[in-house]
Amino acid sequence: MKLLKLLIVMVTFVSFSSCSNDDGDTALKSRVFQLRYVDDPSLLGKVIMFENADGSTNVRMELNGTSDEIHPTFIYFNSLSEGGPVAITLDPCGCVVSNTKVTTLDNGKKITYDELANFNGHLKVHRSDAFMETILLQGDIGSNANNLY
């Protein structure tokens, strides 16, 4: 009888001690960057960069107040005040949310989460393919950002 009780206690202990929400991965990181409207103060947006377990970065765009048009979105080199060429073409943002998995710059150079989260760049959300010159939202990201939250 004592052996049976001991066995039950041991099985229970092993069962509970092996259950865990920790899958062995280190905590993944994220950074949030605020986007600013250009002409329409009813537009709001933010960019959230998530580190993925495979070393890639998920760039999530969240927009509020925009139309249901498809909005081409790009990460550019340098700060907004300096301007620069396109570094990364993101998936277009339709209406509210888009997610882009990023592993490389448009030129093929690999980029890690830490490199992108500290990138010397800025982001612009364009109105549509037909109106690329119209910028709805924009903001500095990475090392240029001063509006983290």
Return the pLDDT at 94: 80
Quote the CA–CA distance of 84 and 46 in Å, as a whole number: 21
Residues of the domain holding 65 = 29-142
Please list the ranges in the chain whose pLDDT falls under 70.
1-27, 95, 147-149
Quote the CA–CA distance of 53 and 65 in Å, as a whole number: 32
Return the pLDDT at 126: 95
Return the pLDDT at 148: 53
Question: Do the domain assignments include residue 131?
Answer: yes
Model pTM above 0.85:
no
Distance between first and last Cα of the chain: 60
Residue 132: helix, strand or coil by DSSP? strand
Question: Do the domain assignments include residue 68?
Answer: yes
Question: Do the domain assignments include residue 49?
Answer: yes
Question: Do the domain assignments include residue 13?
Answer: no
* Domain at 58, CATH number: 2.60.40.200
Return the pLDDT at 97: 87
Return the pLDDT at 10: 42
Residue with tokens 């830490």, as numbered in its chain: 114
Question: Do the domain assignments include residue 57?
Answer: yes
Query: How far from 140 is each of 18, 28, 40, 108, CA to CA, in Å?
Result: 45, 23, 18, 22
Question: Do the domain assignments include residue 5?
Answer: no
Return the pLDDT at 147: 61
Number of domain units in the chain: 1
Question: Do the domain assignments include residue 85?
Answer: yes
Question: Do the domain assignments include residue 113?
Answer: yes
